[in-house]
Amino acid sequence: MIQVKEITKIFKDPQRKEFRAVDGISFECRPGEIFGLLGPNGAGKTTTLRMLSTLLTPSSGTAVINGFDIRHEPDRVRASIGFLSSTTGLYPRLTPREILVFFGRLNGYSADRARQRAEELIDVHGIREFAQVRCEKLSSGMKQKVSIARATVTDPPVLIFDEPTVGLDVLAAAQTLKAVQDHRLKGKCILYSTHIMSEAEKLCDRIAIIHQGRIAAIGSLDALRNQTGHRYLEDIFISLIDGSINGSPL
């Protein structure tokens, strides 16, 4: 469902000549799978996700999402994905219902169909109680529920989550993780970026550890344990990052 092939993003910088935010990353993510991108801040996770969502154009390499190339068919790629970031991306002066109808209409639904779909999502995500309240008055947990509903308005086959639990309290974070797991059960292909080890450990079927724009290791948690000899993901992560800093082959 997601095939990333040697994707690279270079930002031009007159002082450092060029800055490789992402440097030849390749991975695959299948339907019904949560694929984790784990890395420290500035590792290149957000840039990778921005390229996959066609917000940025890769300097080289490409990716195919739901059968569409991000370089040649960006419109179709965007129609195939639901994108969610930590900022929630909700319009503060609109209500959750208005936002859901708006994104339904943007994705080509008729007015009636968009309203019908909004009501479905309001029920599914338990947001009826505050569906008529402007988003600026909602708590962060409520906002994140609305954001997840917004990302799935068109029921896309691919979901991309960029650190969705940053800034949430424990309860709201747990509800978000539950929602992500529910979508896996529905057969969605989920790309999940985080720097929180426990989340990746609990949620992800396979993990790519990313550092300085490159993949340090890739595989299931068990495979990473075997590779590094460490039990916990935090230890695995540190040993791999230390290895790349000390010059060991990635």
Partner 1 sequence: MNLRHIRLDQIGVIIRKELLETIRESKILLTGVILPLVIYPLLIFGISTFQNFQAEKLKHREYRVGIDGNREELDVFLKDSTNRFSFLETDNVYGMLHEQAADFGIEILTGRHANTLEFWLIFSGSDEDSMLGQNALAELMTKHRSDWIRGELVRLGIPESATSPVTITARDLSTPETRSGFSLGKIIPFLLIMILVGGCSYTAIDLIAGEKERGCFETLLVSSVKREEVIFGKFSIVFIAGIVSVILNLFSMYITMKLGLFRPADTTVESGFRIEPGTILLVFVCLLPIAVLFSALLIQFATRAKSYQHGQIMLLPFSLGAILPCLVAFMPGLHSDSFLIAVPVANAVIVIKEIMEGSFHLPAFLLTNIANLFYSMVFLRMAVRALGEEESLVRVVQDGVSRFEMRRDPVRTGLIGFSIIWLMMYFVMAPFQAHMPVTGLLVTLWGLMLFSAWMLPRLLELPLRPTLRLNPPRLLSLLALVFALPGTMFAAMVIIRIQEMIMPMPEVFSEAFRDLLVDNNLPLWLSLFVFAVSPGICEELLFRGALMGGFATRVSMHRAVWLSAVCFALMHFSVFRLAPTLVIGLILGYVAMLSRSLFPAMILHAVYNGVMIQSGEALAERFSIGMATAGAIIFLFVSLLMLRWDYRNRSDRHEVSDRVA
Residues forming contacts to partner 1 in the complex (CB under 8 A) are 13-15, 17, 50, 53-57, 75, 78-79, 81, 83, 85, 87-94, 98, 102-103, 105-108, 134, 150, 154
Q: Quote the least distance from Cβ 134 to partner 1, whole Å.
A: 8
Q: How far is the CB of 231 from partner 1 (least distance, A)?
A: 33
Can you tell me the distance from the alpha carbon of 14 to that of 238, in angstroms, rounded to the nearest whole number?
33
Give the long-range contacts of residues 97-104, CB within 8 A, separation 24 or more.
97/122, 97/131, 97/132, 99/135, 99/146, 99/150, 100/146, 100/149, 100/150, 100/153, 103/150, 103/153, 103/154, 104/153, 104/154
| Least distance in angstroms from the C-beta of 25 to partner 1 | 18
Residue 53 or 194 having the CB closest to partner 1? 53
- β-pairing, 206-211 vs 214-219, is antiparallel
The residue among 95 and 228 lying less far from partner 1, judged by its C-beta, is 95
The two structure tokens encoding residue 156: 């896309």
Question: Measured from the CB of residue 193, what is the shortest distance to partner 1 in angstroms?
Answer: 14
Q: Nearer Cβ to partner 1, position 14 or 247?
A: 14
- Please identify, using beta-carbon distances, which residue of 22 and 81 lies nearer to partner 1: 81
Q: How far is the CB of 107 from partner 1 (least distance, A)?
A: 5
Q: How far apart are the first and last CA of the chain?
A: 26
CB of 122 to partner 1, least distance (A): 18
Identify which of residues 55 and 174 has a Cβ nearer to partner 1 in the complex. Answer: 55
Q: Which is nearer to partner 1, 5 or 105 (CB)?
A: 105
Report the sign of the C-alpha dihedral through residues 187, 195, 99, 102, in that order.
negative
Calculate the alpha carbon distances from 61 to 1, 17, 41, 120, 240 in Å: 17, 20, 23, 39, 25
Closest among 153, 164, 157, 245 to 200, alpha carbons compared: 164
- 35 forms beta bridges with 191, 206
Which residue's CB is nearer to partner 1, number 4 or number 56? 56
The nearest distance, CB 79 to partner 1, in angstroms, is 4
Element containing residue 60 per DSSP (H, E):
strand 60-65
